[in-house]
Structure 1
Amino acid sequence: MKAYEIGPQSGLEGIRLVERDMPVPGRGEVAVKVHSACLNHRDMLTLKGQYGPLKAQDRIPLSDGVGSVVALGENIAGIATGQRVIAPNFVTWLGGKFTPEIFGQDLGISRDGWLAETIILPADAIIAVPDNVSDDVAATLAASGSTIWHCINIFGGLQKGDLVLTLGTGGVSILTLQIAKALGADFAITSSSNAKLDVCKDMGADYCVNYRENPGWATALMTETGGRGADIVVDTAGLNSIEQSIAACAPNGRIALIGGLSGQPEKAPQMGGIIGKNLTMKGITAGSRSMLCDVVDLISRENIEPLIDKKFTFGDSPAAFAYLESGDHMGKVMITF
């Protein structure tokens, strides 16, 4: 079978297409023929050697995907060949609280991911895809969806009418918009592009701020909301811009830190805003299988269609990474097989 490997992790040019033997599922495992896969920012960082320690050069990347079961290992019950499935990127985090051990089985990072014609997954990690959820939708959900659910529900304690704020218009931010609106929240979002903000408005965003036109975007947002701060912030930018997220919060707000797109912090955030507003900040590293199940149920029930910016063929996978790196995308970048 064909698969991509991350290679030396010296840049996007290091990814390589290889031939491998067809994988055979072991006890408690299933083989899955991949239909589609999606990229996340961490996949790009991995190819650059910027996502923790260097990985094995033969690691297969990508944490998000969908496929159909084609073979069963021993001791498998309740799963049939032909069944469409997805899985959380942390395949051993089935439920309960986070533990560091989950990093040992992280798809595309510490365990082979979705960018191959056939992959092996633990049977207890997979989730059946409902009939009314297409492959395009299902392929976007695993890492992003579970992370969002962890941020706004498990940590954020979302209540109907809360104001949720997210930064930028990448795949996580746009899916956050769709999930939060489906749960009855008000929504605010930032971008450097007015055209992208117009799309967000059409998708239901209540407040939109261009951070390039308004470097002090938190003040601009407060003006637009009439002084109402965000109850929950899904912060993809990181500590280099955390002062703005703090300023944009309502008293007792919750800030979920899930990324570092703004780079390394130049200075530590001021404690005054955190203490003065009684804010809670938490790092979120994706979510469990249980959380992803809740996302799939919501997506199926509400017929949510995540925004897919552009599709690439399996053979053109390197171009998909380059497009993600360009930052021109809005929503998800997909690879189809």
Structure 2
Amino acid sequence: MKAYEIGPQTGLNSLRLVERDTLMPDQGEVAIKVHAACLNHRDLLTLKGQYGPMKAEDRIPLSDGVGSVVALGENVSGIATGQRVIAPNFVTWLGGKFTPAIFGQDLGISRDGWLAETIILRADAVIAVPDNVSDDVAATLAAAGSTIWHCISAFGGLQKGDLVLTLGTGGISILTLQIAKALGAEVAITSSSNDKLDRCKVMGADYCVNYRDNAEWATALMTETGGRGADIVVDTAGLNSVEQSIAACAPNGRIALIGGLSGEPEKAPQMGGIIGKNLTLKGITAGSRSMLCDVVDLISRENIEPLIDKKFTFDDAPAAFAYLESGDHIGKVMITF
């Protein structure tokens, strides 16, 4: 089978196409023919050697994907060949509380991911894709969807009418907009592009702030909301932006810190506002299989169509990484097989 490996992790040119033996499932596993996969920012960092310790050079990347079951290992029940499935990127976190042990089985990082013609997964991790959910939709959901559910539901305790603030217009932020609106929330979103913000308004965003035009974007948001502020913040930017996330919060708000797109801060952020507003800040990696099941149910029930900015063929996968790095996208970048 054909697959991509992350190589020496010296940059995007580390990605290499290889030929491997066809994979067969062991006991308790299933083999899946991959239909489509999606990229996340951490896939870029991995190729650059900037996502934790260096990985094995033969690691297959990508945490999000969808495919059909082509073979069953021994003692597998409840799954049929031909069934379309997805899985959480932490394949051993089926439910319950987070534990650091889940990092040992992280698709695309500590375990081979979706950028191959065939992937082997634990049978107890996979989730059947409903008939009314297309491959394009399903391929966007695993890492992004479970993370969002962890942020706004499991941690954020979202209630109808809450205001959710999400930063930027990448895949997680756009899907946050769609999921939060489906749950009855209002949504605020930031971007450096007015064109992207205009598209977000069409998708239902209630408040839009251009952080390039408004360096103090939290102040601009508070003005737009009449001083209300956000009940839940999905912060993809990280510590360079957390002071403004705090400033943009309503009293008793919850900040889910899930990324570091703004890079490392030059100085320690001032966090006193957490006490002054009685805020809660939590670091969140992704979500469990149980959380992803809730997302799939909502997507199916509400017929949500996650925004896919651009598709690339499997053979053109390096161009997909380059496009994601350019920052020109809004929503997800997909590779089809």
TM-score range (shorter-chain normalised) is over 0.9
Assess if the C-alpha contact under 8 Å between 2:243 and 2:271 holds in 1.
no
Matches within 5 A, 1:195-274: 195-274=195-274
Match of 2:189 in 1: 189
Secondary structure at 1:239 match in 2: coil
Tell me the distance in 1 between the aligned counterparts of 2:279 and 2:184.
22
Matches within 5 A, 1:39-78: 39-78=39-78
Q: Which runs of 5+ in 1 are unaligned?
A: none
Assess if the C-alpha contact under 8 Å between 2:30 and 2:122 holds in 1.
yes
Q: Which runs of 5+ in 2 are unaligned?
A: none
TM-superposed deviation, 1:14: 0.7
Match of 1:33 in 2: 33
Letter in 2 for 1:5: E
Q: TM-score, normalised by structure 2?
A: 1.00
Match of 2:13 in 1: 13
Larger displacement relative to structure 2 (294-303 or 267-276): 267-276
Assess if the C-alpha contact under 8 Å between 2:105 and 2:111 holds in 1.
yes
TM-superposed deviation, 1:270: 1.7
Secondary structure at 1:240 match in 2: coil
> Kindly, what percent of the aligned residue pairs are identical?
89
Tell me the distance in 2 between the aligned counterparts of 1:139 and 1:187.
24
Secondary structure at 1:125 match in 2: coil
Tell me the distance in 2 between the aligned counterparts of 1:318 and 1:336.
13
Post-superposition CA distance 1:142-177 (Å, at most 9, x none) = 000000000000100000000000000000000000
Secondary structure at 1:218 match in 2: helix
Tell me the distance in 2 between the aligned counterparts of 1:10 and 1:207.
39
Is residue 83 of structure 2 the alignment partner of residue 83 of structure 1?
yes
Letter in 2 for 1:222: M
RMSD: 0.5
Tell me the distance in 2 between the aligned counterparts of 1:37 and 1:263.
26
Secondary structure at 1:114 match in 2: coil
Post-superposition CA distance 1:170-205 (Å, at most 9, x none) = 000000000000000000000000000000000000
Letter in 2 for 1:204: G
Match of 2:151 in 1: 151
TM-superposed deviation, 1:241: 1.2
Q: TM-score, normalised by structure 1?
A: 1.00
Matches within 5 A, 1:285-324: 285-324=285-324
Tell me the distance in 2 between the aligned counterparts of 1:112 and 1:187.
35
Secondary structure at 2:23 match in 1: coil
Tell me the distance in 2 between the aligned counterparts of 1:215 and 1:246.
15
Secondary structure at 1:66 match in 2: strand
Tell me the distance in 2 between the aligned counterparts of 1:106 and 1:270.
33
Assess if the C-alpha contact under 8 Å between 2:7 and 2:58 holds in 1.
yes
Secondary structure at 2:209 match in 1: strand
Assess if the C-alpha contact under 8 Å between 2:164 and 2:232 holds in 1.
yes
